Amino acid sequence: MGETRTFDSIEIRRPELARGYLGLLAAEPGRPLALFAPRRVGKTHFLDHDLSPAAKQAGMLPVYADLWLHRADPLAAINHALEEALDDAMIPDGRLGKVAKTPVRKISVPGASLDLGEAPQRRPLPAAPDLRLDAVLARLATQHGGKILLMLDEAQTLADFPADLIATLRAVLHKRKNQVDAVFTGSSQEGLARLMTTVGAPMYQFAQLLSFPFLGEAYLQQLAVHFASVHPGKALDVAALQTLFARLGHKPALLRDIVKSMSAEGITDTHTGLQHFMADERQAAGWRALLDALSPLDRMVVTVIGQGRPPLGKETLALLGRGVGGKVTISKVRAAIEKLKRNGILSKAGGQIAIEDQLLAEYVTQLPLAAAG
Ligand SMILES: Nc1ncnc2c1ncn2[C@@H]1O[C@H](COP(=O)(O)OP(=O)(O)OP(=O)(O)O)[C@@H](O)[C@H]1O
Ligand SMILES: [Mg+2]
């Protein structure tokens, strides 16, 4: 095994997990998978680095669309991703492809003119987004000569849309089940679950819901191995790393940042490492900036929730009212919570509203409530 050169280059590949998902898709054509997991645990990384290559290996064409980036119009985002893939599929790779694309219609031969004519044009894709989705999927699958793997990231975005959009997506995926498999991923357990399981909603019992697994011990071991190679004679305890990883909500990049700062200081104790990391002015500045960007009420709602107070309780409402200088009603707090969930600051875990980022949650517990308002 080659040695890893930096903490940042440590990467865990999960080809067997990817093949497992492809197997599930193959077993039930037309039934998408819905993978969900909290934020920052590696969903997108997996789609990009594991699922796409496995799909290619299986002769499929992976197509990725981030629905959050185009959350005003997710169907357009899907169509756009497919059309880009179609463009790519029509133009062979490399320089030769680019050259072949330049329009050469006439070749002059002395004494004659050889007319190559227009390449036969296909009919333009239909403009109506639902028909367009159907048409572009069919065309792309034919062009590729194999199945498409449509990966819809941040699919919880769809939960905010009228049912007919979801019904369209479902109908097209069903109709084209021999040409396309689909994987939805999302970070809002709630949004995705609502989307997939609401009785009467078009996605009901359509997709197979799976929880996407966190990175395992292999990641922690590689961090420890690299740490030992940088600091001969010092060792990180993998069990302690595991505890820290769980405390951080299994976010690999965050753990890596903490281990990097431990490495910079040459410390091996994870408690001290976390303390130092949290006390770092850059960390605090990041959290302050995040809180400062919120409205006073939103900021106080985050603080109140972080401090474990019932957000809709009478005393809390009075406290919030004093903080913002006006009457704060239950419906105002509810609206604030919805907004904060939507932008990923709050999440619902086990029926309980909580701050999504565990370290931000810890930071907030130390804040005086007045300072938060
Ligand atoms: N398999 C992996 N090996 C090493 N590091 C990883 C791995 N997967 C993810 N990471 C690290 O974690 C970071 C977050 O991953 P990623 O963006 O895939 O998470 P996500 O679950 O899609 O987050 P979000 O919910 O915010 O979209 C990556 O930038 C990468 O640094
Ligand atoms: Mg992601």
The string of pLDDT tens digits covering residues 193-206 is 677 766 566 666 78
Q: Is the CB of 62 under 6 A from ligand 1?
A: no
Expressed in angstroms and rounded, the spacing between residue 154 Cα and the centre of ligand 2 is 7
More confident residue, 213 or 102: 213
Instruction: Tell me which of 187 and 149 has the higher pLDDT.
Output: 149
On the question of pLDDT at 26 being above 70, the answer is yes
**pTM reported for the whole predicted model:** 0.86
What is the pLDDT confidence band of residue 101, given thresholds at 50, 70 and 90? very low
pLDDT tier, 344 (very low <50, low <70, confident <90, very high otherwise):
confident
Which ligand sits nearest to residue 14's alpha carbon?
A: 1
Q: pLDDT band for position 95 (50/70/90)?
A: very low
- Candidate from 7, 35, 45 with most ligand 1 atoms within 8 A of CB, to mutate: 45
Over range 119-127, report the average pLDDT.
74
Which residue minimizes the CA distance to atom 5 of ligand 1?
Answer: 11
- Nearest residue (by CA) to ligand 1, atom 31, is 253
Nearest C-alpha to atom 15 of ligand 1 is from which residue?
Answer: 42
Choice among 177-191, 230-244, 309-323 with the minimum mean pLDDT: 177-191
Provide the pLDDT confidence category of residue 208 given band limits of 50, 70 and 90: confident
Strand-pair partners of 34: 184, 209
Distance CA 308, CA 244 (A): 22
User: Ligand 2 mean position to 48 CA, how many Å?
Assistant: 10
Which ligand has an atom closest to residue 153 CA? 2
Q: How far is the CA of 287 from the centre of ligand 2 (A)?
A: 21
Instruction: Give, for ligand 1, the residue of 40, 71, 190, 222 to mutate: max count of ligand atoms closer than 8 Å to Cβ.
Output: 40
The pLDDT of residue 106 is above 50: no
